[in-house]
Amino acid sequence: MKRIISRQEAYLLLILITFAAFLTFMNPKFLTLENIFDMLRNNTFLGVVALGELVVLISGGIDVSFTAIATVAQYIMGVIISSYYLNSVLAAFLIPIPIGIALGAINAALIYYTRLHPVIITISNLNVFYGLLIFFTHGKWIYNFPPAFRNFAGIRVFTLVNDRGVPYGLSIFTLMWILLALLTWFILRYLTIGRKIYAVGGNIESARRVGFDIFRVQLFVYCYMGALAGIASFIQAELSQMIQPNAIVGHELDVLAAAILGGASIFGGSGSALGAVLGVLLIAIIKNGLILMKISAYWQQVFVGIVIAIAAGITAYQYQLRRKRSRRDAKG
């Protein structure tokens, strides 16, 4: 625990650097600040929800409904600010969060009281949330946003100018991602609820015997996922400047993959915020690199799939090793 960086994170960092070096060698454009800032901004949605998924995975659960949660939260926000022409970014930012939390709470309650596997509950809720949204909205797009909403997307933390005179810089959304990553790290490391999340994911029966309130932990975890889905939906709407109900749903597996790639175990109990960030970056770099190398989009999918399989294979193998070790100790 005293180590700043775990072995898994160190591996990831190493792979990341190797990939980056290779891509730079293939196309020097890769290692320009402009490309990197661009890449970071384009992956903010993925990065933010991966942090939420990480927390759910650590607790031993899984959430695949967050795309529907984000879509619902985003749509309601869109309807409100466009129909009242609400010229406030703060309102646009704050509306989706309680919606996400409420939908997350529904997930948590169903998971706790039905005792069904979270994957079943969240797949059902993915369909319920999304289905209801499409039913009521008929899938209509929203794009007439007030100016404050439009201008906010252009804000940069600092601005540089490239040799063609075009300004670029670190997007405000990337800053949000970084802050949320720090928040997640802090919760997991320094709040008792964070440590309880690890404990529940490590051994739920022991956690119950020690006297932890399992429902509170699950409620926190799925609501946190919901809140981050809400924030991410705001970011996504800002970046694309329109709201399409079908833009987000379908990306569940990318996010899961990023979190698992970053060291979260599908069996619960392990993972870190830094790992989740690195996992997203690795997928982002692979995709970006393949684009720069002008490789077909289908091959990109194949490639990302292979990387995920390898990473998930490694974690499963480590899990087996650990189990084998304790089994060997247990027998004569």
Partner 1 sequence: MGENVVFLSAKSVSKNYGGVLALKGVDIEIRKGEVHSLVGENGSGKSTLVKILTGVVQPEPGAEIIVNGILRSALSPLEAFRLGIHVVHQDLSLFPNATVAENIAIHEYTEKGKLLVNWPEIYSIAELSLREFNLDIDPDMELGKLPLADQQLVAICRALASDAKLIILDEPTSSLTRREVDRLFSLIESLKKSNISTLFISHRLGEVLEISDRVTVLRDGNKIGTFERKTLDKNELTYLMTGKRIVQESRMLPLQSQEIVLAVKNLSKEGEFSDISFTLRKGEILGIIGPRGAGRTELALSIFGMNKYDSGEIIFKGSRVNISSNRDAIALGIAYVPENRLLQGIVLPQSVMYNIVITNFKKILGRVGLVNRKVLRSFVEGAIRLFDIKVSEIGAAARTLSGGNQQKVVLAKWILTSPEVLILDGPTIGIDVAAKESIFNLVQELSAKGVSIILISDEPSEVIYNSHRILLMKNGKLVSEYLPEEISEEELETKIKE
- Residues of this chain that bind partner 1 (CB under 8 A): 1-2, 189-196, 198-199, 201-203, 205-207, 209-212, 269-270, 322, 325-326, 329-332
Q: How far is the CB of 115 from partner 1 (least distance, A)?
A: 16
Q: Is the CB of 163 or the CB of 205 nearer to partner 1?
A: 205
Q: Is the CB of 191 or the CB of 310 nearer to partner 1?
A: 191
> How many Cβ atoms are within 10 Å of 275's Cβ, its own excluded?
25
Note whether 280 and 43 are within 8 A (CB). yes
Closest CA to 268 of 214, 327, 192: 214
Q: Is the CB of 47 or the CB of 61 nearer to partner 1?
A: 61
Closest CA to 199 of 318, 326, 59, 320: 59
Q: How far is the CB of 84 from partner 1 (least distance, A)?
A: 38
The helix/strand/coil state of 164 is coil
Q: How far is the CB of 157 from partner 1 (least distance, A)?
A: 29
Q: Is the CB of 156 or the CB of 195 nearer to partner 1?
A: 195
Q: Is the CB of 150 or the CB of 324 nearer to partner 1?
A: 324
Angular region, 144: left φ>0, alpha ψ -120 to 50, beta rest: beta
Q: How far is the CB of 185 from partner 1 (least distance, A)?
A: 13
The owner of tokens 């694309």 is 240
Burial 153-184 (b: 16+ CB within 10 A, else e): beebeeeeeeeeeeebbbbbbbebbbebbeeb
Q: How far is the CB of 247 from partner 1 (least distance, A)?
A: 36
The helix/strand/coil state of 189 is helix
